[in-house]
Amino acid sequence: MAVYTHVSTEEIFEFMASYDEGEVISFKAIAEGVENSNYILQTNTGFYILTLYEKRVNPDDLPFFLGLMGHLVRKGCNSATPIGDRQGNILRTLCGRPAALISFLPGLSVSRPVPNHCFQLGQEMARMHRAASDFNLSRENALSVAGWQKLVNQCEGRADEVMTGLKDLLYNEMTFLKENWPETLPEGIIHGDLFPDNVFFLGGKLSGLIDYYFACNDILVYDMAIAINAWCFERDGAFNVTKASRLLRGYAGVRPLSDDEIAAMPILCRGAAFRFLLSRLYDWLNRVEGALVQVKNPAEYINKLKFHRAVKNSREYGLDI
Amino acid sequence: MAVYTHVSTEEIFEFMASYDEGEVISFKAIAEGVENSNYILQTNTGFYILTLYEKRVNPDDLPFFLGLMGHLVRKGCNSATPIGDRQGNILRTLCGRPAALISFLPGLSVSRPVPNHCFQLGQEMARMHRAASDFNLSRENALSVAGWQKLVNQCEGRADEVMTGLKDLLYNEMTFLKENWPETLPEGIIHGDLFPDNVFFLGGKLSGLIDYYFACNDILVYDMAIAINAWCFERDGAFNVTKASRLLRGYAGVRPLSDDEIAAMPILCRGAAFRFLLSRLYDWLNRVEGALVQVKNPAEYINKLKFHRAVKNSREYGLDI
């Protein structure tokens, strides 16, 4: 839950005076996302999301994130998109922070995805990968192999506070991933954070993707490995192969997968589980009592990583049929 | 900031299936109020607020609060109002908590009220008092003289942790108020919490009052004493007599004030300052590190109480012209 920066009525009126979006008639802080301050804003012409970017977002990355959202919408993807002021600026300043007015995307995220949700997510992810292929900016993934090593270095001294043996697990996994991480798979822009929170559905149909603030250039099917981790485990920790199979098939129906991409799924899933284990572990070890952000326990991703370490080939993800 | 109870997509769909308000197309937790969990909900017919009542609200009081809101709207007041399900129930249960669907009231609260805002607030408060006069339920004010005594008893042992001499101040003020609190002034239903947060404006015009969860039966002009404390002091602590004068005149233009009501303003303002000093002191002394609710420092109301103690007559509130 976010909302760090309080924007007063007077400040929002002054900010919106530069836009052609009508008169502000309602403005409420929403508890969405963990990185930024978000408001829902109503004018006499419609609803919008106003986002103030807090310190975890690098301002230099904002032209990439906001430009990508606009690019995807222009190419026909369902996504929230930034709205320009009268001078065409999509990146503004409010209360001393970078800020953007974003279109309001109807839809709700699902708490308990069923296989058909996963199928639609796979389709939309592939459409997004294709649509982003001619976007003219790029952004390195700060949370890929080199970034993991930094987090391992920062966390290993205290990792065993969370679970005995975690330090060794981190060390062994880091060594394995560094030596075996694929280097020749197709790359492009990925969303990087396709958790159920960031995917909206309306009447059972996927209505759009939100929160592109981890988007970056990386192995395309690494996006699917993240989604397998986020969508295909039940609450009791069991892996649901039907969901994974539907996700992969939805994707492959729009952007066919090569044999190499299929064969790489186990290590990509290990890498994705490792990435979220590390970022959650870092946040957990550095959590501040009383902070508004709810820190997620890293244990969930220790278990997911262990699952993927035991996977022998991609058939176990439902890719054999 | 609130949002205590997480409502899943599946739970909100099931809940809204009992209403004739259309299909849910968006649902976001909002950071509004400190007592309850609030969501903004969009259907294909409009926007709503969904409130789940948390433990600080006594469920037995909800028929009074919700019934009052409906009564006021039927009498032409601008207020949010509860919406019934197909069976006409306005009070429901969701996630094990009492819950109500409330109409969405456009408007924004002002952070820096000007005298005209105070004038309009006075008018609307008087309209509300008149409109509530034939409401058929009543509710005792748990935070009047007897309630203050309970809070004094609970806080006095630790009051000097906040300010040296506060224990004596509480004791002396309690004694004075008990002996001098007016007993013959006109009573009725008051809002009880008319802070700027709970008053919406649209294009400079008051668009409505929200958050009736402190409404109760009490001395009518005690509501104005609360508002004088909440609206008529500047950020540096200075009293703004112009604002108070406009507030009182706005009120008196709709519901004329008797000489007794005018003469009682100094003690009513002392009582109102004391009430918020006590509740903030209690919350401050009992605050939990890490809780989501932001606890307000009681010092602001110590200063306001001291101001009112030095007031000699109602002319000092701008009632002499």
pLDDT, one tens digit per residue, over B65-77 is 999 999 999 999 9
Can you tell me the distance from the alpha carbon of B116 to that of A269, in angstroms, rounded to the nearest whole number? 62
Contact state of A30 with B28 under an 8 Å Cβ cutoff: yes
Average pLDDT, chain B: 93
Residues of chain A neighbouring B8 (CB-CB closer than 8 A): 111-112
**Widest Cα–Cα separation across chain A:** 60
Out of A26, A40, A290, the one facing B108 most closely (by C-beta) is A26
State the amino acid at position A73 in one-letter form: V
Which domains are present in chain B? 9-103 (3.30.200.20), 115-317 (3.90.1200.10)
Can you tell me the distance from the alpha carbon of B241 to that of B258, in angstroms, rounded to the nearest whole number? 20
Contact state of B31 with A32 under an 8 Å Cβ cutoff: no
Going from the C-alpha of B190 to that of each of A255, B204, B218, B220, B263, the distances in angstroms are: 64, 24, 6, 6, 19
Q: What is the pLDDT of residue A293?
A: 58
Q: How many CB atoms lie within 10 A of CB B40?
A: 21
Q: What was the ipTM of the complex prediction?
A: 0.82
Residue B188: half-sphere exposure toward Cβ, Cα within 13 Å: 19
Contact state of A108 with B26 under an 8 Å Cβ cutoff: yes
Mean pLDDT of the B107-127 span:
96
Residue A215 contacts residue A65 (beta carbons within 8 Å): yes
pLDDT at B288 over 80: no
Contact state of B289 with A290 under an 8 Å Cβ cutoff: yes
Find the chain B residues whose C-beta atoms sit closer than 8 A to any C-beta of A.
1, 3, 8-10, 12, 23-32, 40, 42, 47, 104, 106-112, 202-203, 289-292
Q: What is the pTM of this model?
A: 0.86
* Degrees to nearest 5, angle at CA B279 with A5 and A31: 25
How confident is the prediction along chain A (321 residues), in pLDDT tens digits per residue?
Answer: 455 788 999 999 999 999 999 999 999 999 876 678 999 999 999 999 999 998 888 999 999 999 999 999 999 999 999 999 999 999 999 999 999 999 999 999 998 999 999 999 999 999 999 999 999 999 999 999 999 999 999 999 999 999 999 999 999 999 999 999 999 999 999 999 999 999 999 999 999 999 999 999 999 999 999 999 999 999 999 999 999 999 999 999 999 999 999 999 999 999 999 999 999 999 999 887 655 556 788 899 999 999 999 999 999 998 764
Backbone φ and ψ for A56, nearest 5 degrees, come out as -75, -15
